[in-house]
Amino acid sequence: MDISKYTDLAIVYASQYGLKIIAAVVIFIVGKWAVKKLTVISKSLMQKAKVDQTLIEFAESLIYFVLLLMVVLASLNALGINTTSFIAVFGAAGLAIGLALQGSLANIGAAVLIIIFRPFKVGDFVEAGGATGTVEDVNLFSTIIAPLDNRTIIVPNSAIIGGNITNYSNKTQRRVDHVFGIGYDDDLKLAKNTLMEIMEADERVLADPAPFVAVSELGDSSVNFVFRAWVNTADYWEVYFDMLEKVKLTFDEKGISIPYPQMDIHTKNQD
């Protein structure tokens, strides 16, 4: 075996492509570092400009992807690869991949719609895509939602756009709705006044819009009242649960019963 022949061949290839490979590697490493820095700077500028957090997260992902693609193309160009033909090949491959990944592209399109129409933003409490919780992040493919029990739910953006979206944080005020029933033998006026007094005594319940109590139904086992109190959105859940407890305790103190469905059975003896 002629070792010198392979050595000379290696020297020829190293002289022809060695510098190009080194240049490509350097461009990629330095370029990737610069992309991260530029992404951080752009995010910082958007935060100083008080741009919506949802738009910041989306723009950060998009800027990083575009700049990194430019770095990859520059590295390939340094290797002597014709990037024009590469872009054409990349476009054809992208079309094929796009057809195979229609769902992912739909998620990207849905992310754009979320950013444009702004049905919610990061930090809002929403019900969307079968999940309920606080929006933590919106990226190109999915929306991260954290429920009250501190789980993490990753919802595809297409599932969110394709269904109903309920934003509980969009308004500054929310209405607490309950239905309370009393027995037919109980004092109706006393129960109604008691429910109104409970709401008026709570400082978190707003005076405008005014609290509301009214008989809504003469049910099979009870006389039912609608109970409506307007509160600030931040106080909603505390007031919601506190009202249930206060009504039960106050009804017990005043001897007002809260009936439950029951059935009376009468037996008849026959000889």
* 258 within some domain: no
Do 205 and 159 lie in a common domain?
A: no
Angle, alpha carbons 149-151-155 (nearest 5°): 125
Do 179 and 155 lie in a common domain?
A: no
Amino acid 247 reads: V
Do 35 and 85 lie in a common domain?
A: yes
- Cis peptide preceding 261, ω within 30 of 0: no
* 246 within some domain: yes
* 231 within some domain: yes
* 262 within some domain: no
Do 145 and 217 lie in a common domain?
A: no
pLDDT of residue 192: 95
* 261 within some domain: no
pLDDT of residue 217: 92
* 155 within some domain: yes
Q: Are 159 and 223 in contact (CB under 8 A)?
A: no
pLDDT of residue 5: 57
CATH of the domain at 28: 1.10.287.1260
Which domain, by its residues, includes 47?
3-100
Regarding pTM above 0.75, the answer is no
Looking at the chain, the number of H-run helices and the number of E-run strands are: 7, 8
Amino acid 109 reads: G
CA distance 104 to 156: 9
pLDDT of residue 46: 80
**pLDDT tens per residue, the chain (271 residues)?**
456 655 655 565 555 666 777 777 888 888 889 888 888 888 888 888 776 666 777 778 778 888 888 888 888 777 776 666 666 666 666 666 555 556 667 887 888 888 778 888 888 999 998 899 999 988 878 899 999 888 999 999 989 988 899 999 888 999 999 999 999 999 999 999 999 999 999 999 999 999 999 999 998 889 999 999 999 998 999 999 999 999 999 999 999 998 877 666 777 777 6
Q: Are 145 and 155 in contact (CB under 8 A)?
A: yes
> How many domains are contained in the chain?
3
Alpha carbon separation from 75 to 22, 32, 54, 63, 91 (Å, rounded): 10, 11, 32, 18, 18
